[in-house]
Amino acid sequence: MGRVEGKTVLITGAARGQGRAHAIRLAEEGADIIAVDLCEDIPTNSYPMARRADLDETVQQVEKLDRRIVALQADVRDRVGLRAAVEQGVTELGGTLHGVVAQAGICPLGTQDAQAFLDAVSVDFNGVVNAVDAALPYLADGGSVIATGSLAGLIAGATDNPSNGFGGLGYSFAKRSVASFVNDLAIVLAPRSIRVNAVHPTNCNTDMLNSEVMYRQFRPDLENPTREDALPAFPAMNAMPVPYVEPEDIAAMILFLVSDESKYVTGMQMRVDAGGYVKLRPQQPTF
Ligand SMILES: NC(=O)c1ccc[n+]([C@@H]2O[C@H](COP(=O)([O-])OP(=O)(O)OC[C@H]3O[C@@H](n4cnc5c(N)ncnc54)[C@H](O)[C@@H]3O)[C@@H](O)[C@H]2O)c1
């Protein structure tokens, strides 16, 4: 028996990166997957989004594990379109959802365009609310809702540093809002024994981190920093001596939270951050 055998899980942003890792890990442990991704660029976001070919690769990887997957192109900002996609996926896979991993995200750093602020909030926060909204009619009692936050979004002076522009401010606002949303939604869904938790990754080795805007955040002293330039600076986020975690490290937490092993774990801010948060000593006495 796999750890999530027989469960059906919706994952937004599943074409690549962490979303694909979650789809594969959950499928390895017996889940069927509804994989949603935009597969198009968002103009204020300077690095490219996934493409249909990426989503197709996720499909292949899950099918290799003999699990079922329905992959759909939809925009998490579009509540009506997302509802239709989720309805289609759930109908094809038996009518019930046991988990939601709302993790589609953008990080439109490096622009003073006000639209970047709104896009970050619309994808990274409204997109989470829309995913829960689309899933709720099908979500079984005892199910699991997981939303992806961010270590950088939670700590002051990281993505919200003025040098990152309005998109960075929007990213931090959205991720703080995700943390708060999860806290209160846990109260609302507890009577149905549905758990609601946030996962906050530190730097994770995906296209979002491996982008020019991120290299510039870590090496503001250079005009056109490369990955090699940024690599020695990445560990500054963490207490442990690592530059980043891998998508599979986050998937391990997602698997635990979707599985019944965490059936009484709710309202939690689960940081997979190599000690990046505690090293700021948030519990240090103030006297
Ligand atoms: N990579 C990091 O260092 C890091 C750190 C902390 C948090 N996160 C968060 O992890 C999540 C996953 O990001 P990732 O690291 O895998 O990066 P990624 O860019 O590889 O993956 C994000 C996915 O979301 C999709 N997406 C973006 N906007 C969408 C929309 N409007 N509708 C549907 N799909 C959309 C993209 O096409 C892409 O496939 C994000 O929420 C991100 O903020 C990432």
CATH value at residue 193:
3.40.50.720
Domain for residue 287, yes or no? no
In the sheet where 32-37 sits, what is the strand order?
69-73, 32-37, 8-12, 97-102, 139-148, 195-201, 269-272
Domain for residue 170, yes or no? yes
Q: Is the CB of 38 under 6 A from ligand 1?
A: yes
Domain for residue 25, yes or no? yes
**Model confidence at 87: pLDDT above 90:** yes
- What span, in angstroms and rounded, lies between the C-alpha atoms of 255 and 252? 5
> Which domain, by its residues, includes 173?
8-276
Ligand 1 mutation target, pool 18, 172, 253, most atoms within 8 A of CB: 18
Domain for residue 190, yes or no? yes
Closest protein CA for atom 6 of ligand 1? 150
Q: Is the CB of 130 under 6 A from ligand 1?
A: no
DSSP 3-state helix, strand, coil percentages of the chain (rounded to 5)?
Answer: 45, 15, 40
Q: Is the CB of 92 under 6 A from ligand 1?
A: no
Q: List pLDDT tens digits, range 179-206.
A: 999 999 999 999 999 999 999 999 999 9
Domain for residue 3, yes or no? no
Q: List pLDDT tens digits, range 11-70.
A: 999 999 999 999 999 999 999 999 999 999 999 999 999 999 999 999 999 999 999 999
Number of domains in the chain: 1
Residue 170 has what pLDDT? Answer: 98
Domain for residue 281, yes or no? no
Query: Averaged over 276-285, what is the pLDDT?
Result: 87
What SS3 class is residue 249? helix
Residue 281 has what pLDDT? Answer: 84
Q: Which residue type, as a one-letter code, is found at position 277? A: Y
Question: Hunting for tokens 């000593």 — which residue is that?
Answer: 281
| Helical H segments across the chain, by residue range | 17-28, 52-64, 79-92, 114-121, 127-135, 151-154, 165-189, 212-218, 227-230, 247-258
Q: Is the CB of 76 under 6 A from ligand 1?
A: yes
The β-bridge partners of 100 are 10, 145
Domain for residue 1, yes or no? no
Question: b or e along 167-194 (b: 16 or more beta carbons within 10 Å of the residue's beta carbon)?
Answer: bbbbbbbbbbbbbebbbebbeebeeeeb
Closest protein CA for atom 20 of ligand 1? 17
Domain for residue 2, yes or no? no
Residue 282 has what pLDDT? Answer: 84
For residue 39, the CA-to-ligand 1 centroid distance in Å is 11
As a residue count, the chain comes to 287
